[in-house]
Amino acid sequence: MAEIAAILTDRVEQMRLARGLTVEQVAMIGAIARTTISEFRSGETVDPRLSTVLKVCTGLGVAPEALLTGLPTPAPRSRPNGHASTGPDR
């Protein structure tokens, strides 16, 4: 489990830097505490909750698949009703 957490920690940092975001910006966009992001980045959180991972993804503007696989995947678009879109608008 610690190996997976280390991989996620590295990916979060790479994605954050690639997007030119500060920890504060990721926290604000993801509606998550700055300390939670810092703990995630530093590896203090070795078994993050799914809800935390999803908030980090939101803050980074990436789909969970991108964080988990390391492959570029666009983040799901949010619709006016707040639900994510998984396909083209109809």
- The CATH number linked to 56 is 1.10.260.40
Is the Cβ–Cβ distance between 56 and 37 less than 8 Å? yes
What is the rounded CA–CA span in Å between residue 26 and residue 1? 24
Domain that holds residue 29: 2-82
Residue 67, in any domain of the structure: yes
d(CA 87, CA 90): 9
pLDDT reading at 68 higher than 70:
yes
pLDDT at 27: 93
- Examine residue 89 and state whether it is found in any structural domain, yes or no: no
- The structure's pTM equals 0.73
How many domains in the chain? 1
Residue 17 lies in a domain: yes
What's the Cα-to-Cα distance from 64 to each of 26, 27, 31, rounded to whole Å?
15, 16, 16
Average pLDDT over residues 82-86: 49
Domain-embedded: residue 87: no
- 88 assigned to some structural domain: no
Beta-carbon contacts of 46 under 8 Å, excluding residues fewer than 6 positions away, are 1, 2, 5
Average pLDDT of the chain to the nearest whole number? 80
